[in-house]
Amino acid sequence: MIARTFIFVLAVAGVALAQTSEVSDTVFMNDASGTRRVGRIVGVDATTFKLEVPLAVGNLPGAKATVAVPRAQVSRIEFAPNENRDRLLASPGVASMSALNVEWLRWQAFLGVAKSPAGAIANAYATALLAANDPKRAADALAVFNRVEKEAWSEKDQQVAKQGRLRAMVATGQAEQAVTEAEQLAKVSEDPTVLIEAKFILAEAAAASLRKLVEENPRWQEDPRVRPEHDRLYNDALDLYLHPYLFLGSEIDAASRGLWGAVRIYRFGGDDRDAIESARDLVQLYPTTHYATLAKEYLDELPPALKKEDAEKEAAAAAAANQ
């Protein structure tokens, strides 16, 4: 009975709330006095926010009530920061997929609510799904990216989702459509992040076409009809992968991803020297990235003869000898 009385009074007139560390989100009302309600947002529907608040009940420590706050009466919400969530968003991958799924299930209803982290959580979860390299999970990622692109309150989250959607389309066998869209984006976009993603999609497509061509034409070097196409695809893939590294090196994730793509192309083409140099650049310039870890593993597994290769030292020595 006591709990019911407090819920009713709080819903109608408001009561003093116990100030605890669990109270974190702040709801700003649009009334004349700018009333604030502090608690934990736990739900939302078309008409109301559900706010969990602690009750100032002396003999019931930890007592809480969930109240409905009409959305029409809310001017804005400040959602509390969360360090654990921020760490998940910083480096989404297969290892964090389950935790991100839990966050997405909790926050997906808030996708259109201004200032909520829902869009960033969704994009991170979809990115983790893609990292699994599994067709079913790629299809799930595509669905999440599609939803964010259409429903997210943040334009930034929508742009990230658009770029993710292109990667998911490639992963689900829709490469041709993704490449067409990426080509258009590369032509008209002035946003560096959009351009980077478009070029990456085109690089992946060129690399896939190159591998298919070599698979279907194992003696391509001897075929004058095939060799020009091989060389075009090889050079296109390298140019597109290296674009962020060469022109937007401060974009750490994109530049390191592109460098690793170049390493893979060099290795596929049998160019160990350039593969090794690119891998060394990746480890030196972007040591904290996932791609630097892959590059280091590649370098560590090289046979002793290749480990001695150092194109930069050889070039410097040659230049000194010519002076």
pLDDT of 1 reads 38
Q: Over 90: is that where the pLDDT of 282 sits?
A: yes
Q: Do domains 2-78 and 175-310 have the same CATH topology?
A: no
CATH class (in words) of the domain with range 175-310: mainly alpha
Sheet architecture: strand order including 74-78? 64-70, 48-54, 36-44, 25-29, 74-78
Closest CA to 3 of 73, 61, 55: 55
Work out the average pLDDT over 284-299. 95
- Tens of pLDDT, residue by residue over 210-228, are 999 999 999 999 999 999 9
Rounded Cα gap, residues 155 and 159, in angstroms: 6
Work out the average pLDDT over 100-118. 94
pLDDT of 318 reads 56
Q: Over 80: is that where the pLDDT of 310 sits?
A: no
pLDDT of 315 reads 59
Q: Over 70: is that where the pLDDT of 193 sits?
A: yes
Q: Return the sign of the alpha-carbon dihedral for residues 254, 232, 138, 190.
A: positive
- Tens of pLDDT, residue by residue over 226-273, are 999 999 999 999 999 999 999 988 899 999 999 999 999 999 999 999
Q: Over 60: is that where the pLDDT of 51 sits?
A: yes
Rounded Cα gap, residues 257 and 275, in angstroms: 14
Long-range contacts of 13-19 (CB under 8 A, 24+ apart): 15/55, 15/56, 16/56, 17/53, 17/54, 17/55, 17/56, 18/54, 18/55, 18/56
pTM for the structure as a whole: 0.67
For domain 2-78, the CATH architecture is Roll (2.30)
Sequence ranges of the domains in the chain:
2-78, 82-173, 175-310
Q: Over 50: is that where the pLDDT of 72 sits?
A: yes
Q: Contact, 134 vs 97, CB < 8 A?
A: no
- Tens of pLDDT, residue by residue over 20-45, are 345 479 999 988 888 888 889 989 98
pLDDT of 13 reads 35
Q: Over 60: is that where the pLDDT of 7 sits?
A: no
pLDDT of 321 reads 62
Inter-CA distances, 136 with 165, 175, 205, Å: 15, 16, 20
pLDDT of 320 reads 58
Confidence category of residue 314, pLDDT binned at 50, 70, 90: low
pLDDT of 22 reads 52
- Tens of pLDDT, residue by residue over 130-161, are 989 898 999 999 999 999 999 999 999 998 89
% of the chain beyond a pLDDT of 90: 58
Looking at the DSSP bridge assignments, the partners of residue 68 are 50
Q: Return the sign of the alpha-carbon dihedral for residues 222, 224, 228, 229.
A: negative
pLDDT of 3 reads 38
Rounded Cα gap, residues 195 and 176, in angstroms: 18
Rounded Cα gap, residues 250 and 279, in angstroms: 17
